[in-house]
Amino acid sequence: MRQFNFNKIKTVIKRIIPHSLWRYKNKLQILHQQSKTAKICNDLIKKYENGKSLHFPIRPKKDFANEHIIWQYWGQGYENVPEMVRICLDSVEYYKGDFQLLRLTDNNISEYLDIPAEIYQKRKYYLKAHFADFLRLALLATYGGVWLDATILLTGPLPKQYFSYSFFMFQRDNNEENKKYWKNAYIGYWGWDPKYKVRSLNSVIFAHKNNLVIKILCDILYTYWIKKNIFPHYYFFQILFNEFIRSHPALNCPIKSDCLPHYAMTIISEDYPRMSFDDALKLSTMHKMNYKVPEVCIERLKKELNKIKKNDFTR
């Protein structure tokens, strides 16, 4: 019996059906997935509000003089990180200022937190990103400070104005001027439709210890880790945050567009006519990079950074 090549059939169909219709179809699927996950998150929030959640034990194992701490995590250790990650790490070392820089791996988490064995046992079911989502909340709830993903590039000091808020995360700004561009860049993350649930960047978080929002989200994620064996969505953290803030808007921080930290990566990975790399640096000193990029992008980044003499952390 002759077997059908479904990939070829799909390719033919794509040629027949307009690209705009395919994008609309993808958008409906994305909204459906986000909506299903949002229902799970809202159930978790209600259980928390009804006193039916577990509580992550806040037990500091270190005594720090203040909350001027930068937290970073790369589970495997830092000796053989990808080149983009190395550039980002070196930039944080260079611009850390008076912040204490603490870099965690799977081998030293226990020096700072007592994470229950059940969570470690369940890591095999989850993506590394989902463990990192919980880890950042637990650290910030316990000690305060600034969480920076290992793929955050600094091109200047951390803006201390964000520490004047009880917590800070970049979020979707409805006044963004370049919505059309971003929606075409990656529809899975970018969207301004009111039904979109992924509306924040958790790669950068400023927070004071025991901040209510951070602690509640930490408790909810902790409960989910203990009781469940699967995360229904890659952006579970972002959807949970969106649903919680939507029902508790008074607890939110001021909105700063999550487009701002993405411009630098966009400029080195493709032609972006609206803005130069220098323009991107004026918008933010914190930039979300992607280490899974061609070598040519890394070389472009090095070239741009070398134009700025003070950024001599590049190798």
What pLDDT digit, counting tens, does each position of 227-267 carry?
998 899 999 999 999 999 999 999 999 999 999 999 999 99
Q: What is the DSSP string of 12-61?
A: HHHHHS-HHHHHHHHHHHHHHHHHHHHHHHHHHHHHHHTT-S-------S
Is residue 77, in this structure, part of any structural domain at all?
yes
Is residue 143, in this structure, part of any structural domain at all?
yes
What pLDDT digit, counting tens, does each position of 111-134 carry?
999 999 999 988 888 899 999 999
Residue 204's Cβ-count burial label (10 Å; 0-12, 13-18, 19+) is buried
159 with 97: CB under 8 angstroms?
A: no
Average pLDDT of every residue of the chain: 91
Q: In terms of DSSP H, where are the helices of the chain?
A: 6-16, 19-49, 83-95, 117-122, 128-143, 179-185, 212-227, 236-247, 263-269, 277-283, 295-306
Is residue 184, in this structure, part of any structural domain at all?
yes
Vertex 117: Cα angle to 210 and 239 (nearest 5): 50
Question: How many domains, in total, are found in the chain?
Answer: 1
Whole-number pLDDT of residue 312:
57
Is residue 137, in this structure, part of any structural domain at all?
yes
* pLDDT at 12 > cutoff 90: no
Is residue 37, in this structure, part of any structural domain at all?
no
Is residue 278, in this structure, part of any structural domain at all?
no
- 102 φ, ψ to 5°? -120, 120
Whole-number pLDDT of residue 5:
59
What pLDDT digit, counting tens, does each position of 147-157 carry?
999 999 999 99
For residue 166, what is the domain's CATH number?
Answer: 3.90.550
Better pLDDT: 273 or 45: 45
Range of the domain at 174: 69-257
* pLDDT at 90 > cutoff 80: yes
* pLDDT at 182 > cutoff 60: yes
Tokens (6 digits) for 63:
């005594």
* pLDDT at 201 > cutoff 80: yes
Is residue 266, in this structure, part of any structural domain at all?
no
Confidence of residue 20 (pLDDT cuts 50, 70, 90): low
Is residue 286, in this structure, part of any structural domain at all?
no
